[in-house]
Amino acid sequence: MRKITFAQATLEAMAEEMIRDENIFVMGEDIVRQGGIFGQFKGLSDEFGDRIMDTPISETAIIGASVGAAMAGMRPVADMHFADFMGVAMDELFNQMAKIRYMFGGQTTVPMVVRAPDGLSLSAAAQHSQSIEAWFMNIPGLKVVAPSNPAEAKGLLKSALRDDNPVIYFENKILYREKGEVPEGEFLVPIGKANVVREGTDITIISYSIGMKKAYEVADKLEKEGIHAEVIDLRTLVPYDNETILDSVKKTHRLAIIHEAVKQGGAGGEIAAFVAENAIEYLDAPIMRFGAPFVPVPFSPPLEKAYRLDSDKITKEIIEKF
């Protein structure tokens, strides 16, 4: 199978879906002039013309206009440039986009996708490096996805573009340049279904997005110590696949959750609480959560390195629990 980058996979998904559905259009900053800050929209304006639109620097306008267009029957894609800037448009995101279908009793839908580049890069500092997915896990009315590789980037984006509910699509900035095998043509990854990417018997490791890189590293290190980890890629944070999680924990009797986002109040806390409520009798050890420290992301390269997850430290802490 051919290998392409994460960014190319999203570009392919967009082109295929825009050909399939003429109601899909894109709004964002510098997506025509620059092709998107990470190249994820490069060339789309040449193919689709006015359906790819540059906007003023106003997240409020981008989300607000997208909500209105979605209610009128279009299927907008709103690009946020950086996920950090979503805070500017929070009223439109959680009071309008997420609530309108419910408040109108299902008489109208809001079929739109918010693309949100997130995560650490290199010295992008506190306002351009955040992982904020946990904010949106607390807002009823939204779906939230976070692909970890190019194939899932394509499949999840295509599914999001076909969904009749608002979907927030978190795409990690470092992953944009990662290459992987991606099927050509029609390829969908279902929203709400996790993927058991590695079978194991001794501990369940759950992650998503770029956190999966650490999950694989930790699983490899544990294997050398005779501990066989089962690794689950959540893929979707809302709704998350509770059945796959419970089945795995009931088999392995241990659970570790890894994410690049801040540990305090993170997605790992929700997963841990769910397992504690529904499968605590199967656990042979405390649930372990691994995330970033509760400080803003540093600009300084040495401090940023210290801020990042360390697979050796995670492995050591897991082994100590056996």
Q: Residue 84: how many CB atoms within 10 A of its CB? A: 20
Q: Which domains does the chain have, with CATH numbers?
A: 3-181 (3.40.50.970), 195-320 (3.40.50.920)
Three-state secondary structure call for residue 55: coil
DSSP-derived secondary structure letter, 280: G
Contact of 211 with 33, CB cutoff 8 Å: no
Residue 138's Cβ-count burial label (10 Å; 0-12, 13-18, 19+) is exposed
Chain position carrying tokens 């420290």: 293
Q: Whole-angstrom distance between the N-terminal and C-terminal Cα of the chain?
A: 40
Instruction: Check if the beta carbon of residue 17 is closer than 8 Å to that of residue 24.
Output: yes
pLDDT at position 291 is: 98
Percent of residues in the chain assigned helix, strand, coil, to nearest 5 = 40, 20, 40
Instruction: Please give the structure tokens belonging to residue 236.
Output: 């979707």
Give the largest Cα separation in the chain, rounded: 59
Structural contact between residues 228 and 247, judged by C-beta atoms closer than 8 angstroms? no
pLDDT for residue 16: 97
Can you say whether residue 286 is alpha, beta or left, with left for phi > 0 and alpha for psi between -120 and 50 degrees?
beta
The pLDDT value recorded for residue 37 is 87
Catalytic residue of the set 81, 128, 228, 259: 128
Alpha helices in the chain (DSSP H): 6-20, 44-48, 59-71, 90, 100-103, 133-137, 150-162, 211-224, 242-252, 267-279, 301-307, 311-320
128 is catalytic: yes
C-beta of residue 180 within 8 angstroms of C-beta of residue 212? no
The answer to whether the CB of 249 falls within 8 A of the CB of 214 is no
Burial of 300 (0-12, 13-18, 19+ CB in 10 A): exposed
**C-beta separation of 114 from 64 below 8 A:** no
Angle between helices 150-162 and 6-20 (to 10 degrees): 30
pLDDT score for 1: 85
State the Cα–Cα distance between residues 155 and 157, nearest whole angstrom: 6
Mean pLDDT by groups of 10 residues along the chain of 322 residues: 95 97 97 91 95 96 98 97 96 97 96 97 93 97 98 98 98 97 96 98 98 98 98 98 98 98 98 98 97 97 95 97 90
